[in-house]
Structure 1
């Protein structure tokens, strides 16, 4: 890295973790350090997203509802499913 990029970034320049412009740095995720609550939250988010998108498509394409009303219903159902699934998965992974 050149000196101007290091000055803009205010971080120690390194070879990995920079995009092509050299202005963005990210940490690599260590999957071995996930806690059970992290696993439960991420899995519950995936399940709730799947349920929400499926509900949105069912409301929009299967029933004669308006597009925005279908989005609201899918988002609401996804949020409610996260609230139900997350405590179950958290208890399972403990």
Structure 2
């Protein structure tokens, strides 16, 4: 039997409570065309959403990579999240 940490359990509860919002946001993101090497519009959208949820130092580079920082609530390890933005 796998036992989830309290943090993972809390995250799953949040996701369940906000599932419609998450799905709507995902659909909205996917409706922005972003073929390989033409991701500018989607990158701008992602950067705007990152700022809206509180990330700072949000940047879009020349090849449409989007980066930002979200500080944690206390000491602990650093986490890097990475994903493709093109379709």
Q: Tell me the TM-score normalised to structure 1 length.
A: 0.28
- Which of the pair has the greater relative contact order for Cα pairs under 8 Å at 6+ separation? 1
Q: Tell me the TM-score normalised to structure 2 length.
A: 0.29
> Which is higher, the Rg of structure 1 or of structure 2?
1
User: Larger helix proportion, structure 1 or 2?
Assistant: 1
